[in-house]
Amino acid sequence: MPSPVLAPVRLYDSLISGNAYKCRLILHKLGVPCERVELDIDRKETRTPDFLAKNPNGRVPALELENGVVLPESNAILWYLAEGTPYLPEDRLERAQALQWMFFEQYSHEPNIAVVRHWALHHGATTQEPSIVAKRALGYDALAVMDGHLRERRFFVGDRLSIADIALYAYSHVADEGGFDLSGYPAVLAWLDRVAAQDPHIPITQA
C-alpha cells in the first residue's frame, strides 16, 4: 500500500511548458488544491540561486510538499500524485507499461516534439534549420509508434485514462505549434479527442 500522501503546497510552474501542464492537469483531475508559482523560463527564472536551491537541475515543474521536500521531474510528480488513484493502474505489468510510455515520452517524444515547439514559439526558429529538420523527423517517428499502438486501443495502458496518457497528451496536442502535421496519424488524433473528453479536464492555457 502506498504511504499517506504528503500534501503538495506549491507547484513551480510555467504556462508555456507542457511538462508543467501535466501537473496542473492531474491536480485538477484529483481536486487537489495547490499554490502556483509562475516562472519565466526565457528570462532564466528557473536558474536563479533561489530556485536552484529548490531544484538543482534548474527546471520546472517542481512540486513542493508540506514537509519542504521539492520533487522535480513531471512524470515523477504524476506518479507521486496518482498512486492509489484510478489514474495509475494497480496491475504490476500495467504499472510498468505506464512507466514504459512515460520514459518513451521523455526520451523519444519530448526532446523532439516539445523542443521544436519551444524553438518555434519562443526563438523564432525557422523550419529549415538542420537541427529542427532532424528533430522533426524523430518527432514523426515517435508519433508513428504512438499511432500504431493506439490503432486498436482507446488509451495507452489498460482501457482507461492513466498518467501515461496525460504524459503523452501534454505535448502531442500542441504539436501543431511546432509545425507538426498530425493528419497522417488518425489514431493519435482520435485519442487526443478522447483524452480531452475525459472530465474533469482543463486546457494547457488554464492556470
Q: Which residues bind a second copy (CB under 8 A)?
A: 1-6, 56-57, 65, 69, 71-77, 79-80, 83, 90-93, 95-97, 99-100, 102-104, 106-108, 110-111, 145, 148-149
CB of 91 to a second copy, least distance (A): 5
Minimum distance, C-beta of residue 199 to a second copy, in the bound complex (Å): 26
Q: In whole angstroms, give the CA distance from residue 119 to residue 126.
A: 9
CA dihedral (26, 162, 203, 135) positive or negative: positive
CA 162 to chain centre: 12
Question: At 119, which helix (H) or strand (E)?
Answer: helix 115-123
Q: What are phi and psi of 71, to 5 degrees?
A: -105, 110
The nearer residue to a second copy, 100 or 198, going by C-beta atoms, is 100
Of 39 and 163, CB closest to a second copy = 163
C-beta of 7 vs 196, nearer to a second copy:
7
Q: Which grid coordinates belong to 206?
A: 488554464
Cβ at position 3, least distance to a second copy in Å: 4
Q: Smallest distance from the beta carbon of 49 to a second copy, in angstroms?
A: 13
Nearer to a second copy by C-beta: 90 or 159?
Answer: 90
Q: What is the dihedral of CA 91, 18, 176, 189, to 10 degrees?
A: 20
Task: Give the separation between CA 11 and CA 27, rounded to whole angstroms.
Answer: 10
Nearest alpha-carbon partner for 121 in 34, 180, 167, 54: 180
Q: Could you tell me the smallest distance in angstroms from the CB atom of residue 119 to a second copy?
A: 15
